[in-house]
Amino acid sequence: MKLNFSENHKLLFSVVFFGFIALSILIAIIPAIEVNSNDPMCGVNTLTPAEFRGLNTYVSEGCLYCHTQQVRPLQLDKVFGRPSSPLDYSYLTPLDQIRMTPAVLGSERTGPDLSNIGNRQPSEIWHHIHLYNPRSVVKSSIMQAYPWLYEIKENPDSNDLVIPVPDEYAPKNGKVVATQKAKDLVAYLLFLKQKPIEGISQIEESTSKNLSGSDAGAQLFNTNCASCHQQNGEGISKTFPPLKNSATVNSDNPDKHIRTVLFGLKGEAINGIVYPAEMPPQKDNLTNEQIAEIINYERSSWGNNGKKITADDVRKIRAEGK
């Protein structure tokens, strides 16, 4: 037989077929095996059964088509946390006998990255309100609403997790109650906390080096606080308290303000209203400098006029503890 590709079909198509297999082994299978077994966090980074069911819903509802879980080592990704490490994904295995390992890294960021959402937005209630209808907490969101993860009950009993959906979006009659599916999905979202990894600092020293003063404060506020208190500082009536004209924010003694941001707040009446959701603590999520920037931003925005503070004030209260 002649070694002539265009006249010898056996030769041509063997080279095409086996050559491609060889290339595929080199470029896909070997590197895949290499990262596949790279798994020392096993045991630390595993899902509870509820979180695992939540991951299932995350996949079947296709959340990953709009949300990435992949923080790149780039300045513009710093708002979402530290750069992702291979270890962050060590919990991922096939979903069941038929389905395969989910592709949570994603390829499009129509919505924000969720690698660290459990730290950035730790409030369970907020997640439920948001899933029931995203526009009730983020006015210009275009995210899909998931009302079928909730039931409407006339008389919820004491075991039911009632979701305080703002009036404008709430059903006419009855209360919104989370189903098990909704609870599981939120459990998975809250699992998404970047775990400490040696060599990669958990909290970035300053979000953006090129931003200073109120710019940095505004950015930090918008990233970490605005989903509840809103960008205009007005909160959401009966669901999340306003910061505009708030006594705590305008008070000359900032201790209460700092303490609330650091350690969170729960069940306390503010201006006579007890809010159903709790304010999540930020102490593990933000540095003293960042918290000072946020607090100063809050104290000088929307007509507020509170005394400015420094990172040292935050440090002091952090040391005192709750």
Partner 1 sequence: MAVERPIAPGKVKIDDLINEDDRLTKLIYSYLVSATAWLIFGSLVGLYLAIRFIYPDFGVAQWLSFGRLRPIHTNVVFWGWTSLAMIALALYVIPRTSQRPLFSIALARKALYVINASILIGVIYLFMGYNNGGQEYREFIWPAMMLFALGIISHTLNFYKTISLRGTKEIYISNWYILAAFLWTIVVVVIAYIPWYQNALGETVIQGYYMHMGVGMWFTPLVLGLTYYFLPLLLNKPIYSYSLGVLAFWTQMVFYSLIGAHHFVFAPIPWWLQTVAIVFSIGMVITLTAGTGNFLLTMKGSFRKVARSYSLPFILVGVIFYFLASAQGSLEALREFNQLWHFTNYTIAHSHLTMYGFVVFLIWGGIYALLPRLTGKEPSHLLIGIHFWFALLGLLIYGFALMIGGTMQGKSWIEGLPFIHSVELMIPYWIWRAVGGTFMFTSHIIFAYNLYKMKPLPHPHKQIDLAGEQI
Task: Tell the smallest beta-carbon distance from residue 120 to ligand HEM (Å).
Answer: 23
# of chain residues touching partner 1 (CB under 8 A): 88
Q: What is the β-pairing status of strands 162-163 and 175-178? A: antiparallel
- Give the up-direction half-sphere exposure of residue 212: CA atoms within 13 A in the CB hemisphere: 1
Site for partner 1 in 6-25 (CB under 8 A): 6-7, 9-10, 12-13, 16-17, 19-21, 23-24
Beta bridge partners, 162, equal: 177
> Distance between CA 245 and CA 120 in Å, rounded?
25
**Residue 92 binds which one of partner 1, ligand HEM, none, with CB within 5 to 8 A depending on kind?**
partner 1
Site for partner 1 in 212-271 (CB under 8 A): 219, 222-223, 226, 231
Task: Tell the smallest beta-carbon distance from residue 109 to partner 1 (Å).
Answer: 4
> Distance between CA 224 and CA 217 in Å, rounded?
10
SS3 41: coil
Q: What's the Cα-to-Cα distance from 276 to each of 137, 230, 266, rounded to whole Å?
A: 15, 17, 8
From the list 49, 140, 157, 172, which residue makes contact with partner 1 (rule: CB under 8 A)?
Answer: 140
**Residue 212 binds which one of ligand HEM, partner 1, none, with CB within 5 to 8 A depending on kind?**
none
Token pair of 222 as six digits: 């918008």
> Distance between CA 28 and CA 289 in Å, rounded?
44
**Residue 98 binds which one of partner 1, ligand HEM, none, with CB within 5 to 8 A depending on kind?**
partner 1
Task: Report CA torsion sign: 162, 164, 169, 170.
Answer: positive
Site for partner 1 in 60-89 (CB under 8 A): 60-66, 68, 70, 72-76, 79, 83-86, 88-89
**Residue 19 binds which one of ligand HEM, partner 1, none, with CB within 5 to 8 A depending on kind?**
partner 1
- Contact letters (x/-) for partner 1, 95-114, by CB under 8 A? x--xxxxxxxxxxxxxxx--
Which is nearer to partner 1, 100 or 319 (by Cβ)?
Answer: 100
Site for partner 1 in 115-134 (CB under 8 A): 133-134
- Contact letters (x/-) for partner 1, 271-300, by CB under 8 A? ------------------------------
> Distance between CA 236 and CA 179 in Å, rounded?
24
Task: Tell the smallest beta-carbon distance from residue 135 to partner 1 (Å).
Answer: 7
**Residue 214 binds which one of partner 1, ligand HEM, none, with CB within 5 to 8 A depending on kind?**
none
Burial of 317 (0-12, 13-18, 19+ CB in 10 A): buried
Phi, psi of 236 (to 5 degrees): -130, 125
> Distance between CA 270 and CA 291 in Å, rounded?
22
Instruction: Give me the residues that bind ligand HEM (CB under 6 A), please.
Output: 65, 107-108, 110
